[in-house]
Chain A
Amino acid sequence: MSMVRAMIWKEIHSFLHDWKTLATVGMLLLWGLFLLILPNGFGMDIGLATLSMFLVTLVSNTLTWKSFLYERAENALTSVLASPISPAELFLGKTLAVFLFSYLSLLVVAAAACAVGIGTNELPDASSFAMALLAVPVWGLAVTEIMGALCFVLGSFDLVRWLGGGLCLGASGITHAIAGHAQGVWPALAMTAVGLAAAVAVLVLFSKIGKPRLAR
């Protein structure tokens, strides 16, 4: 795990140094906050789980580009592939860094909103909480992995951006559909299990790719 930790450390430092990335993430989160605090989100009944999923996957999309494609463009990927890190560790480190940064940013904004007493007049039900705290992180991780893998395989920013946008909307749509009809925590647990299976499958598939192919 030391290699994965090293990669997470590097990625987080890289995000923190780039004001453009920080500004983009900040804007996205503020936008989400507005949707949360304005009465019924401009008339849309979005719900906590859907909004969390949308924001986490959207922020991940932005950071995935920064993490995966920028490294290739800078020719840093070739060097890191020649180091002792394995493709699976490299991939997991990157996706975890992207995901942790996205989800922790969201939690910070949510905590700030609660601290100033906005959006707390009506507490979400147990199902929404389970969705936001379990399904959203796991799906966020799976979506980040898929986008990261696409970045490696396709190597094209435009294509990845559009596919990432589609994944983000798709994940949010599924969350909205399930959260709208969910009773209790079981739908959230089922969603979490599906997300976890997807995340593991992508990681296993990625670990089969050899360094020469990734270095191309």
Chain B
Amino acid sequence: MSMNNVIEMQGAGKTYPKGKVALHGVDLFVKKGEVVGLIGPNGAGKTTLIKLLLGLLDPTAGSVGLWGQESTKLTRELRQRIGFLLDQRGLYTDLSVEENMHFWAKLYSVNSGKVEASLKEWDLWDVRKDLVKKLSSGMSQRLSIARATLQDPSLVLLDEPTSQLDPLVRVKVLDLIGRLGAKNKTLLVTSHDLAGMERVCTRMILLRKGRIVADGSMSELARHLGVGQQVHIRYRGKIDESLMAEIAAGRNVHAEGSNTLVIGGDTVDTGALVRLLVQHGVDVEKVEEKAQSLEDIYITVVKQDEEEEE
């Protein structure tokens, strides 16, 4: 394994004892300072991937390593550098908020002054004496995030950090991810909050049915999936079949209403399209270029999955 990557998965696979295959030969390399968003439908293998990285699961194929060491055999010093949030929060519900944090501080050799600062940062100071079982879901999630970042980790693995949060706290969590990224920390974040991920992640990975199907920046992801750009053209006049065939060559075209064309593709040369229409006597009234959001891409992919299953 190489020391250049913080995360290094080579052909990593996981098949559970009952035969369910969660990951198929995943290759994933993450360098220091990258903020990676891991997206995919439920059951795509996101949580399994996080658990493999944390050494909570043994890979059944390939290798999984952090800082050049096998994840199941990490030294204590390396484990102390990992902050994590799992989908099941793992808080002790019969302990108070403060006791949960103090226990974590002891495990990570963090002084108690940081506990106070962290509880105040996440607006949990006033409820520090309350038992966790009496907290709302949002408060528990905040406590989990406070706990995950208590020791100022250099690698942060977050599984669904913005779930069950109100909009204000969601923004705060996204800001935190952004701040950690700016401090050159390495982050791997799974989420269904696609708009939020688009805002803070420098790299996106799309996982489908246990396989990485796209990996790169937003534009690379879009290009790879062929759902990159859309041009909406409102026109007056008639488009005959031969003209329509010319427009559709190598592009996805569909009509929206009686006088609007939606043209999508890897890259769409809007100027050439407009010239083509004008040359054929079509009066172009309005042209609108739209870059597709992560949400559009995600929905397209999930629809493809559903169609394949049908």
Q: Which A residues are closer than 8 A to B by beta carbons?
A: 2-3, 5-6, 9-10, 13-14, 17-18, 70-71, 74-86, 210-212, 215
Does A79 contact B55, Cβ atoms closer than 8 Å? no
Does A82 contact B54, Cβ atoms closer than 8 Å? yes
Q: How far is the CA of A2 from the CA of B105 in the complex (A)?
A: 11
Does B84 contact A74, Cβ atoms closer than 8 Å? no
Main secondary structure of the interface of A (DSSP, over half): helix
Q: Which of B38-78 contact A (CB under 8 A)?
A: 51, 54-58, 72, 76
Q: Which B residues are closer than 8 A to A by beta carbons?
A: 51, 54-58, 72, 76, 79-80, 82, 84, 86, 88-96, 99, 103-104, 106-109, 131
Does A6 contact B88, Cβ atoms closer than 8 Å? no
Contacts of A17 in B (CB 8 A): 94-96, 131
The answer, among B57, B84, B103, for a CB contact under 8 Å with A215, is: B57
Does A84 contact B57, Cβ atoms closer than 8 Å? no
Does A215 contact B92, Cβ atoms closer than 8 Å? no
Give 8 A-B pairs besides A9-B103, A81-B56 with Cβ atoms closer than 8 angstroms. Answer: A2-B109, A13-B99, A14-B95, A17-B95, A17-B131, A18-B94, A79-B91, A212-B58
The answer, among A6, A78, A211, for a CB contact under 8 Å with B107, is: A6
Q: How far is the CA of A71 from the CA of B91 in the complex (A)?
A: 9
Residue on B nearest A17 in the bound complex, by CB: B94
- Name 22 interchain pairs, CB-CB below 8 A, sorted by A: A3-B107, A6-B103, A9-B103, A10-B95, A14-B94, A17-B95, A17-B96, A18-B94, A71-B92, A74-B91, A75-B88, A76-B92, A78-B88, A79-B91, A80-B90, A82-B56, A83-B107, A86-B76, A210-B72, A211-B56, A211-B72, A215-B57
Does A13 contact B58, Cβ atoms closer than 8 Å? no
Contacts A18-B94, A75-B88, A79-B86 known; A84 to B55 CB distance under 8 Å? no
Does B76 contact A211, Cβ atoms closer than 8 Å? no
Q: How far is the CA of A2 from the CA of B117 in the complex (A)?
A: 23
Does B80 contact A84, Cβ atoms closer than 8 Å? yes
Contacts A2-B109, A84-B79, A85-B107 known; A212 to B55 CB distance under 8 Å? yes
Contacts A2-B109, A82-B84 known; A10 to B92 CB distance under 8 Å? yes
Contacts of A76 in B (CB 8 A): 90-92
Q: How far is the CA of A91 from the CA of B200 in the complex (A)?
A: 40
Determine which residue in A17, A81, A85 has the highest number of CB atoms from chain B within 10 A of its CB, and name it: A17
Contacts of B131 in A (CB 8 A): 17
Q: How far is the CA of A14 from the CA of B58 in the complex (A)?
A: 31
Q: B14 to nearest A CB, angstroms?
A: 11
Contacts A14-B95, A74-B92 known; A215 to B56 CB distance under 8 Å? yes
Contacts of B82 in A (CB 8 A): 82
The 7 closest A-B pairs by CB, nearest first: A79-B90, A6-B106, A75-B88, A84-B79, A82-B54, A215-B56, A212-B58
Does B94 contact A2, Cβ atoms closer than 8 Å? no
The answer, among A9, A14, A212, for a CB contact under 8 Å with B56, is: A212
Does B95 contact A78, Cβ atoms closer than 8 Å? no
Contacts of A86 in B (CB 8 A): 76
Contacts of A215 in B (CB 8 A): 51, 56-57
Contacts of A82 in B (CB 8 A): 54-56, 79, 82, 84, 86
Q: How far is the CA of A3 from the CA of B108 in the complex (A)?
A: 9
Q: How far is the CA of A77 from the CA of B103 in the complex (A)?
A: 13
Contacts of A74 in B (CB 8 A): 90-93
Contacts of A78 in B (CB 8 A): 51, 56, 86, 88, 90
Q: How far is the CA of A79 from the CA of B107 in the complex (A)?
A: 12
Does B79 contact A212, Cβ atoms closer than 8 Å? no
Contacts of A77 in B (CB 8 A): 90
Q: How far is the CA of A138 from the CA of B20 in the complex (A)?
A: 45
Contacts of B89 in A (CB 8 A): 75, 79
Q: How far is the CA of A81 from the CA of B90 in the complex (A)?
A: 10
Q: How far is the CA of A212 from the CA of B53 in the complex (A)?
A: 11
Q: A20 to nearest B CB, angstroms?
A: 10
Q: How far is the CA of A6 from the CA of B84 in the complex (A)?
A: 19
Determine which residue in A6, A9, A18, A84 has the highest number of CB atoms from chain B within 10 A of its CB, and name it: A84
Determine which residue in A78, A81, A210 has the highest number of CB atoms from chain B within 10 A of its CB, and name it: A78
Does A84 contact B107, Cβ atoms closer than 8 Å? yes
Contacts of B103 in A (CB 8 A): 6, 9-10
Residue on A nearest B102 in the bound complex, by CB: A9
Contacts of A85 in B (CB 8 A): 107
Q: A11 to nearest B CB, angstroms?
A: 10
Contacts of A210 in B (CB 8 A): 58, 72
Q: B65 to nearest A CB, angstroms?
A: 15
Contacts of A75 in B (CB 8 A): 86, 88-90
